[in-house]
Each structure stands twice: as structure tokens, then as C-alpha cells.
Chains A and B, each alone.
Chain A
Amino acid sequence: MFSEKQRQLTYNFLVWAYVLVALFPVLWMVSMAFKPQNVMFSIPTVWFFWPTLGNFTYVLEQGFIRNIGTSLIVSCISTVLVVIVGTPAAYAFARFRIWRSNDLFLFILATRMAPPVAMVIPFYLIYAKVGILGSYTGLILAYLTFNLSFYVWVLRSFCRETPIELEEAAMADGYSRWQVLVKIVLPLLRPGIIATSVLCFIFTWNEFIYAFMLGGKKVETIPTVIPHFITAQGVRWGELSIVGMVALLPVLVVVFLLQRHIVRGLTMGAVKG
């Protein structure tokens, strides 16, 4: 029917068409960041214009740099905590016969099931009583909920995939259990740990509800700032686009650098081979 070459060309074309669909709105938003006000809403749409940095001044005036810092702090600390706490657990679930491990695992999965909007209520009340509302501790603690369950869930599959023979050999050579963990298993798991922790970082970086409700005025991550640009006088689209851009950039860079690991992380080891 079709020659091999024709088919390859079609496939390539389709893929790039898909990329266009995926990226075009994003690129348009980026262009909005640099559009001067008088050109932004014109009909018919203006495609070429002199870029301006005017929108940036307003954003910086609102203290956006501080928001970036806050997001960084919260996301990094949260991810580090998740890795430290979750890695041993994932390893244990994969390697040992734990009493009722299925139930425990389902419990971990269940922590992801409640809509975050509903879970905010108890958090808000408890935090208000304890006094950590609007604090870094409170927010980071809240993020442990879904990040930890996700991390353990995914990393367990990675652990299952790593061959056990290396550990057995090390044990036969006289390594203690702890040494086996640190010297053999961790290096093997490194791609999996990186991939999953990056995903956790991204989820935390992008998260809105918990940050909005539990962060208060003192801890404002990047997503929480967005409603501020929807003022009573109208929406400040140019500034919003800048926020969107900044929110996207680190994620993009990280994904680009670690894509191979992330792609593996998504398989969750469910397909053996």
C-alpha cells in the first residue's frame, strides 16, 4: 500500500503536529507576557509587535521574587523529606513479606483519594488550633500527604525490578543488611529515586489549594499569587502570563534534563521485560 518511507514521513508529521497543538497555547501565553497593553486585546489578533518589559515591572513590584523563593523552599524541603522517609519504605514493601502489606499499601493509595478541597478543612482547623497556619512547617507537612504516598507507590515498583541477586551476593560476602541497603541498593535505585522525586517536586511546585488555604499571607507560593492578578478592574493578562512562564520554566528545564528517568518512572514497573 504505502511505502515504508511514506509511512515514516506521515508518522513524523503527525508527531510534530501534535507537538504544535501541545505547545502553541503555551507559546502564545509567553508572547502575551511581552505584549504592550494597547495591542493585547486588539481584534483582529496582532501577531507581530514590539516586545515590552512593562508587564514585568508590575509583577516585580508585587514582590514576585519572594514568591519564587517561597515556592523553591517549600518544594525542595518537601521533596527531600519524602525521599528520606519514603525510600526505605518502598524498599521494604518490595523485598519483604510484611504482615498485611496489601492492606497497608491500599491505605497508602487511599490517602490520595479524598478531594483536596475536603481535606483542607480539617487541616485548616487543626493548624489554626496548633498555630502553624501560614507557616512553612504546616504547608510542607500537608504536602507530605500525597507526595509520600505517590513516592512509595512508584518506587516500590522500581525496587521490584532491580535484581535481587546482587543483594544476595553481598549478603553472602558478609555485608550487613544496612550496608547492603546503602552500598548496593541505593546506587541501583538512583534513576528511580531521581525520576520519582522530580515528579514529586513538580506536583508540589504546581499545587494550588493547600498553598492557598494553608499558606496565608506569609507563605505564598507561585500558584497562590495568580488570583491576585484577577482584580476588580479586570484581569492583568500580561502579568499573569509572566507568572505562568516563571512557573513553567524550572519544570521544563528539569524535565528536559531528566526525561529518560521520568519516562521510566511513569511505567511504574508495571510492564515487566
Chain B
Amino acid sequence: MGVFEKTIPPGYAPVSEAEVGSARQRFWYPYVLIAPTMITLVVVALIPFIFTIYLSFHQMDFAQVGRFSGITHYKVLLSNTAFWHSVWVTTIFIAIVVPIEFALGLLGALLLHQKIKFRKVVLPLLFVPTMMAPVVVAILWKIMLAGSWGLLSYNILERLKIISEISVFGSKELALYGIIFVDIWEWTPFMAIAFFAGLQSLPMNPYRAAAVDGATPLQIFFRLTLPLMAPLMAVIGLLRFIDAFRIFDTVFLLTSGGPGSATETVSIFTYKRVFNFWDMGVATATAVVIWILFFIFCNVFYQIAQKKLKAF
């Protein structure tokens, strides 16, 4: 495929040999540059994480570390129906939210790509939902969908007799869909603007060639635009997937995992273990289990995306 032909990506090869400094100096230079970052991350991310693993193997008495307890916590965790329920809830959430945001974002990007008047004003305005603090988004939608006096709940849902008398977030069946709706509202702009930036930076020449060859718009989209956008879509898709899994703020303030455990995502489950049950052991075990699952998934995804799509 001609569009993927590249030799070495510009800027990726080391600078040519017209260099100063001794050979030893040249060797250490990059490591000196990355050292502060690596040291910081080891201290701030790796050590706490190793500590988490350590904790997951010990009895925890409130905040005191107790005796070694082997894999007890893991056994308890993996046999806990609440845990699997939270995994299920999170999976449904991601399975619905990410594709919809992806599709709507792509549509939005294509739309923005046309000749839109005042685009410079439109973009920041569109970005507002993503830029707001998730906790504020939660408050906002609590206002809009509140029981009987929320703007949307009263005017639309009740008047049109779709749903009456109940709050979206107070109903077992609807709460998760409420959360899904809020998340879509919040993150579609991010996808749209990211994809839009991608569309804007596509090279023009393939398109000119396609026009000369008489390709239809549909053909252009599927055979030209999509493959060219694939690396960006992989990166953004992965990013959204990871973030959707970690969702906490919005759910916490909107439903706290309720009613019952209808919206209890993995993050909320972990939070409840820590603050309702003081079960640090299970909470840390959850963190480790989830992280391992994620790491495997991301590794696989990273390898595939790198080889097939040259995304990273």
C-alpha cells in the first residue's frame, strides 16, 4: 500500500555524526535527559504500586499493616460476586460508551471538516463538556435530570410521558443508562476534536489523485481517509478505553454506585472496599488484578497497533 511507504520517520534517527563531545559523552547524553523523568516516575508511580502489591498480600487492620496473608485477599476477591458484578457493569459501560463516542466523534469531525463559519469560535465551545471537571459535570446532570424539578426530567421526559415520576438516577434499570448518557455528552467532543485535528493534517496529494481517478465520496472515505486516520484512531481509542475503565468522579457524585449496585463500576467497588468496609486488602488486590488485566491488554494492543498501523 503506497500510503504507508516510509523509510525512517523524520526526526527519529540520531543526529548525524557531525558531533561534539567525546564518544562517552555522546553515549550518556540521552540518559541524562530522561533520568529526571524516570526517577520521578519510579518514586511517584512504581514505588506506590509495588507497595500496593505488598499490601495485597498482608492482613490490613484499618490503616495498619498486619501479618502476611498470602493470597487470601485474592481468593476473597475472585469469589466475591460484588466484584464480578462491578466488572460486568464496567464492561457494559465501556462496550456501549466507547464505540458510540468513537462513531459520533468521527461524524462530528467530518462535519467540522467542512466549511463551517466561525469555526474558531465553535471549537472551544464544543470542547466545554470535556474541559469541565467531571465532578462539575455530575452536578450539572444532577440538575438537569433531578427527580421532579430537573429541567430535562420535567420538560421532556414527563411531558412526553416517556418516563414519569421517577428520577433517572434513582431507578435501577435506568441509572446505568443515565451514566452512559452523561459520559457520551462529556467525551464525544474530545473524540470529535481529536479526529478533526487528524483530518486537518491529512496530506492533500492522495485526495487529488483520487479526484483525478474519479473516486466516489464513499470510496474516498473508506479506502483513503480511514486507513490514513487509523494510527490516530488507535491511539485515541486506546486512551478513551483506558479512561472509561477508570471512571469514578462522575459516577461517585451522581449515584455513588447505586441504586443498590446498579452503577457500581470497578472504581466504585474499590472505593467502597476502602471506605465502607475498610477492607484494604481486597481493595489493593482489586487494583493489582485490574492492572494486570489492563497491562496485558494494552501490551497486545500496543504491539498490534505499532506493527500494523505504525501508531506508536
Residue of A nearest to B232 (CB): A270
Q: Is the CB of B14 within 8 A of A96?
A: yes
Q: How far is the CA of A162 from the CA of B11 in the complex (A)?
A: 7
Q: Which residues of A lie under 8 Å from residue B139 when comparing CB positions?
A: 29, 226, 240-241, 244
Q: Which residues of A lie under 8 Å from residue B155 when comparing CB positions?
A: 44-45
Q: How far is the CA of A263 from the CA of B14 in the complex (A)?
A: 28
Q: How far is the CA of A85 from the CA of B21 in the complex (A)?
A: 24
Q: Is the CB of B248 within 8 A of A209?
A: yes
Does B2 make an interface contact (CB < 8 A)? no
Does A251 make an interface contact (CB < 8 A)? yes
Least CB distance from B305 to A in Å reads: 10
Set B133, B232, B287, B312: member contacting A119, Cβ < 8 A: B287
Q: How far is the CA of A209 from the CA of B275 in the complex (A)?
A: 13
Known pairs A119-B52, A271-B198; A174 contacts B128 (CB<8 A): no
Q: Is the CB of B197 within 8 A of A266?
A: yes
Does B212 make an interface contact (CB < 8 A)? no
Q: How far is the CA of A171 from the CA of B18 in the complex (A)?
A: 6
Interface residues on A, range: 35 or more
Least CB distance from B242 to A in Å reads: 6
Q: Which residues of B lie under 8 Å from residue A205 when comparing CB positions?
A: 133
Q: Is the CB of A266 within 8 A of B193?
A: yes
Counting chain A CB atoms within 10 Å of each CB, which of B38, B129, B143 scores highest? B143
Q: Which residues of A lie under 8 Å from residue B16 when comparing CB positions?
A: 168, 171
Does A34 make an interface contact (CB < 8 A)? no
Q: Is the CB of A32 within 8 A of B128?
A: no
Which one, B43-51, B67-75, B92-100, B172-180, is touching chain A? Answer: B43-51
Q: Is the CB of B112 within 8 A of A15?
A: yes
Q: How far is the CA of A156 from the CA of B23 in the complex (A)?
A: 25
Q: Is the CB of B52 within 8 A of A92?
A: no
Known pairs A45-B155, A117-B274; A22 contacts B126 (CB<8 A): yes
Q: Which residues of A lie under 8 Å from residue B108 when comparing CB positions?
A: 18
Q: How far is the CA of A14 from the CA of B112 in the complex (A)?
A: 10
Q: Which residues of B lie under 8 Å from residue A125 when comparing CB positions?
A: 51, 55, 63, 65
Which one, B77-85, B161-169, B293-301, is touching chain A? Answer: B293-301
Q: Is the CB of B37 within 8 A of A89?
A: yes
Set A28, A109, A167: member contacting B151, Cβ < 8 A: A28
Set A11, A88, A111, A226: member contacting B253, Cβ < 8 A: A226
Set A28, A94, A175, A177: member contacting B11, Cβ < 8 A: A94
Least CB distance from B188 to A in Å reads: 8
Does B221 make an interface contact (CB < 8 A)? no
Q: Is the CB of A267 within 8 A of B201?
A: yes
Set B37, B52, B235: member contacting A121, Cβ < 8 A: B52
Q: How far is the CA of A83 from the CA of B155 in the complex (A)?
A: 47
List 9 A–B pairs whose Cβ atoms lie within 8 Å, in order of A's numbering: A26-B129, A88-B34, A94-B11, A114-B49, A118-B291, A126-B51, A162-B11, A223-B136, A248-B136
